[in-house]
Protein backbone atom coordinates (compact mmCIF):
# COMPACT_ATOMS: atom_id res chain seq x y z
CA UNK A 1 0.00 0.00 0.00
CA UNK A 2 2.81 2.39 0.81
CA UNK A 3 6.59 2.44 0.84
CA UNK A 4 8.82 3.42 3.73
CA UNK A 5 12.57 3.95 3.50
CA UNK A 6 14.64 3.37 6.62
CA UNK A 7 18.09 4.97 6.47
CA UNK A 8 20.68 3.64 8.89
CA UNK A 9 23.20 5.95 10.52
CA UNK A 10 25.86 4.70 8.09
CA UNK A 11 23.67 5.60 5.11
CA UNK A 12 22.44 2.11 4.23
CA UNK A 13 18.85 2.31 2.98
CA UNK A 14 16.08 -0.26 3.19
CA UNK A 15 12.84 0.43 1.35
CA UNK A 16 9.90 -1.83 2.08
CA UNK A 17 6.22 -1.97 1.30
CA UNK A 18 3.77 -1.74 4.20
CA UNK A 19 0.10 -2.69 4.25
CA UNK A 20 -2.37 -0.01 5.27
CA UNK A 21 -2.50 0.14 9.06
CA UNK A 22 0.76 -1.75 9.51
CA UNK A 23 3.22 -0.02 11.83
CA UNK A 24 6.70 1.02 10.78
CA UNK A 25 8.10 -1.19 13.54
CA UNK A 26 6.30 -4.32 12.31
CA UNK A 27 7.34 -3.53 8.76
CA UNK A 28 10.97 -3.26 9.78
CA UNK A 29 11.11 -6.32 12.01
CA UNK A 30 9.25 -8.56 9.56
CA UNK A 31 11.57 -7.51 6.74
CA UNK A 32 14.82 -7.83 8.73
CA UNK A 33 15.61 -4.13 8.64
CA UNK A 34 18.50 -3.81 11.10
CA UNK A 35 18.32 -1.29 13.91
CA UNK A 36 14.69 -1.70 14.93
CA UNK A 37 14.13 -4.44 17.50
CA UNK A 38 10.58 -3.83 18.73
CA UNK A 39 11.23 -5.69 21.98
CA UNK A 40 7.90 -4.81 23.62
CA UNK A 41 5.82 -5.87 20.63
CA UNK A 42 4.63 -2.39 19.86
CA UNK A 43 3.10 -1.08 23.08
CA UNK A 44 5.39 1.95 23.47
CA UNK A 45 7.22 0.36 26.39
CA UNK A 46 10.77 -0.36 25.22
CA UNK A 47 12.10 2.39 22.96
CA UNK A 48 13.94 -0.05 20.68
CA UNK A 49 11.95 1.17 17.69
CA UNK A 50 13.08 4.80 17.94
CA UNK A 51 13.38 6.61 14.60
CA UNK A 52 13.95 10.18 13.45
CA UNK A 53 11.38 11.36 10.92
CA UNK A 54 12.90 12.91 7.81
CA UNK A 55 12.34 16.69 7.85
CA UNK A 56 10.26 16.52 4.68
CA UNK A 57 7.79 14.19 6.40
CA UNK A 58 7.44 15.70 9.87
CA UNK A 59 4.20 17.55 9.17
CA UNK A 60 2.57 14.56 7.48
CA UNK A 61 3.44 12.16 10.28
CA UNK A 62 2.11 14.53 12.92
CA UNK A 63 3.09 15.28 16.51
CA UNK A 64 4.50 12.84 19.02
CA UNK A 65 1.95 11.35 21.43
CA UNK A 66 2.18 11.50 25.22
CA UNK A 67 2.86 7.74 25.38
CA UNK A 68 5.77 8.16 23.00
CA UNK A 69 7.14 11.12 24.95
CA UNK A 70 7.10 9.07 28.15
CA UNK A 71 9.13 6.28 26.55
CA UNK A 72 11.45 8.42 24.45
CA UNK A 73 12.83 10.15 27.51
CA UNK A 74 14.78 6.91 28.13
CA UNK A 75 16.08 6.52 24.57
CA UNK A 76 19.48 7.67 23.29
CA UNK A 77 19.83 10.57 20.87
CA UNK A 78 16.30 11.86 21.21
CA UNK A 79 15.48 15.00 19.23
CA UNK A 80 12.42 16.99 18.16
CA UNK A 81 11.96 14.63 15.20
CA UNK A 82 12.03 11.47 17.34
CA UNK A 83 9.12 9.01 17.19
CA UNK A 84 8.45 5.43 18.15
CA UNK A 85 8.00 3.54 14.89
CA UNK A 86 5.51 1.17 16.57
CA UNK A 87 3.11 4.08 16.91
CA UNK A 88 3.14 5.15 13.25
CA UNK A 89 0.77 3.28 10.96
CA UNK A 90 0.92 3.29 7.18
CA UNK A 91 -1.82 5.30 5.53
CA UNK A 92 -2.14 6.70 2.00
CA UNK A 93 -0.58 10.09 2.72
CA UNK A 94 2.54 8.44 4.19
CA UNK A 95 3.47 6.54 1.01
CA UNK A 96 7.14 7.36 0.40
CA UNK A 97 7.91 8.15 4.05
CA UNK A 98 11.58 8.37 4.99
CA UNK A 99 12.89 7.75 8.51
CA UNK A 100 16.42 7.75 9.91
CA UNK A 101 17.76 5.35 12.51
CA UNK A 102 19.62 6.69 15.55
CA UNK A 103 23.37 6.08 15.73
CA UNK A 104 22.83 3.87 18.79
CA UNK A 105 20.63 1.43 16.81
CA UNK A 106 22.47 -0.65 14.22
Binding span for ligand FES by CB under 6 A among 2-10, 12-20, 35-43, 58-66: 35-43
Number of residues near ligand FES (by CB under 6 A): 14
Quote the distance between the C-alpha of residue 29 and its chain's center.
11
Q: Which of 8, 16, 45, 64 binds ligand FES (CB under 6 A)?
A: 45
Buried b / exposed e along 7-27 (16+ C-beta atoms within 10 A):
bbeeeeebebebeeebbbbbb
Nearer to ligand FES, 8 or 40 (CB): 40
61 binds ligand FES (CB under 6 A): no
Q: Which residue is nearest to ligand FES (CB)?
A: 86
Neighbour tally for 102: CB within 10 Å: 18
Amino acid sequence: MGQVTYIAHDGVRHTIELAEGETLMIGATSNAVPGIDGDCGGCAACGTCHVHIDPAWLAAVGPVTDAEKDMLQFADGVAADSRLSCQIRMRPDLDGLVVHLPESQH
